[in-house]
Amino acid sequence: MFTPTQKEVGAPPTCLSPASVQNLDGNKDGLGRDCLRKPEQKLPECYGVGDPGAMFFSGSSQLSSRGRVIKWFWDSAEEGYRTYHMDEYDEEKNPSGIINLGTSENKLCFDLLSRRLSQSDMLRVEPALLQYPDWRGHLFLREEVAKFLSFYCKSPATLKPENVVVLNGCASLFSALATVLCEVGEAFLIPAPYYGAITQHVYLYGNVRLVCVYLDSEVTGMDKRPFQLTVEKLETALEGARAEGVKVKGLILINPHNPLGDVYSPGELQAFLEFAKRHELHVMVDEVYMLSVFEASVGYRSVLSLERLPDPQRTHVMWATSKDFGMSGLRFGTLYTENQDVATAVASLCRYHGLSGLVQYQMAQLLQDHEWISQVYLPENHARLKAAHTYISGELEALGIPFLSRGAGFFIWVDLRQYLPEGTFAEELLLWRRFLDNKVLLLSGKAFECQEPGWFRLVFSDKPHRLRLGMQRIRQVLEGISQVAKDAPSCHTQEPGDQRR
């Protein structure tokens, strides 16, 4: 999501961090509009309507104007990653290279995955797999997906293959759903901070915008935890967007949440779904981290486990193997929806999001192997995630850095506001670049549309030696900064001790 303020239009930013704009100067007025309030009230900005098209820059290119926007997104995401890819850390070949704690990938279980995917049942070549498929996905795969989701989401009734569409990842699914549910320029609500790439997923092809429901770290009023989403905040953002003439068609929920590592309780989930039903909003529930809950006490519940969906025709569930099976390069995602019009329209777009018949066969083999998943993969994966999380959270505690994390996902949402003397996004960007200069790649809060400068997402799902080195380098940067921001207003984030429940 990008600011529609004039100063950003017409001149390309000179410095951009991965996944989002990082060159803002700390003037937050452009980032969203204050919600309905009396003039003298000082309330945080509570929503903002995105306008990625405002990033358009003219140039001598032979591309269309939207082609230039599309290319701009690519170029703007490059600084961090280009630097990283030119100088990737390798224990033997490049020990002084950059450690990537920015990309949300699970690098802890390649040994398990490699063994399973190399088994002889994985390579099957038969004519049907090499011919044009059913664009919804081969029936044998959709049957396995339905069984898999029924079991691992603990659905009250068995899920049905005809409600399943498979495609090459959830990025494609966001693109397809945005296009078939919205007209050009319409919008989805999304609580922010959020995984920033969704901005592009709904916009690049679909021309759909996001209306941010801004959450903040202060625990006041009804909020029991930092960055808490409530129905009231959804109502306010919806009302504000509508007052501005923005037609909102749906709500995106990420559960477990990226980047907060938070999960919604069944009661919250139900309340958000009821809110959506009241306003006839579609709900896209992104559950790509559903099997990456490594603390059982978190009590995660998939939306598919609810006894009754308030509006099943407008509830669309997304899952993929990228995160839960640590295979973002495999490109497998799936939609579950009872709405056959939506399933068919998405399937029609699957001509452009199809995956190989050979991979469809492999995924069916993997997903049907409940014994390996439940007895081998998940216990070991969760143990490794937990160990990595314990190590990183211990290090952060030792540094006196507050953070959020509840035992789900691959990342910790870290509060580095004490290192920004003025509390601006310019300082956040500076800190981000200091980390990169000291050979560790993180993502800063701006990439997630966080409204408070100073938050960073730190990915911990990596091998111990890389985590150790990454933390050493982070420590060096932070210790090198004079802590002029020590007197900044206190924040109500959870204490480190809370994180390891």
> By CB under 8 A, what part of segment 237-276 binds a second copy?
249
From candidates 357, 407, 409, 470, binder to a second copy by CB under 8 A: 357
CB-nearer residue toward a second copy: 168 or 418:
168
Q: In whole angstroms, how close is the CB of 407 to a second copy at the nearest point? A: 24
For residue 353 the two structure tokens come to 């999001």
CB-nearer residue toward a second copy: 107 or 492:
107
Q: In whole angstroms, how close is the CB of 347 to a second copy at the nearest point? A: 6
From candidates 3, 17, 22, 200, binder to a second copy by CB under 8 A: 200
DSSP state string for 140-172: HHHHHHHHHHHHHTT-SS---GGGEEEES-HHH
Q: In whole angstroms, how close is the CB of 159 to a second copy at the nearest point? A: 20
What value, to the nearest 5°, has the Cα angle with vertex 205 and ends 199 and 206? 70
Closest listed residue to residue 227, CA positions, set 36, 402, 424, 24? 402
> 227 and 215 in contact (C-beta within 8 Å)?
yes
Interface with a second copy, residue 376, by CB under 8 A: no
CB-nearer residue toward a second copy: 110 or 501:
110
Q: In whole angstroms, how close is the CB of 168 to a second copy at the nearest point? A: 6
Long-range pairs for 37-40 at CB < 8 Å and ≥24 separation?
none
Interface with a second copy, residue 226, by CB under 8 A: no
Residues of span 275-314 touching a second copy by CB under 8 A: 282, 313-314
H/E element holding 403?
strand 403-404
State the residue for tokens 């790509």.
288
Closest listed residue to residue 188, CA positions, set 246, 274, 250, 278? 250
Tell me the per-residue interface mask from 39 to 68 with a second copy, x by CB under 8 A, - otherwise. ----------------------xxxxxxxx
Residues of span 331-350 touching a second copy by CB under 8 A: 331-332, 339, 341-342, 344-345, 347-349
From candidates 26, 33, 45, 129, binder to a second copy by CB under 8 A: 129
Interface with a second copy, residue 236, by CB under 8 A: no
Interface with a second copy, residue 355, by CB under 8 A: yes
> 446 and 425 in contact (C-beta within 8 Å)?
yes
Residues of span 437-466 touching a second copy by CB under 8 A: none
What value, to the nearest 5°, has the Cα angle with vertex 431 and ends 428 and 436? 130
Interface with a second copy, residue 354, by CB under 8 A: yes
| Per-residue burial over 459-481, b = 16 or more CB atoms within 10 Å of its CB, e = otherwise | bbbbeeebbebbbebbbebbeeb
CB-nearer residue toward a second copy: 103 or 255:
103
Residues of span 149-188 touching a second copy by CB under 8 A: 168-169, 171-172, 175, 179-184, 186
Interface with a second copy, residue 102, by CB under 8 A: no
Closest listed residue to residue 336, CA positions, set 316, 351, 320, 321? 316
> 289 and 408 in contact (C-beta within 8 Å)?
yes
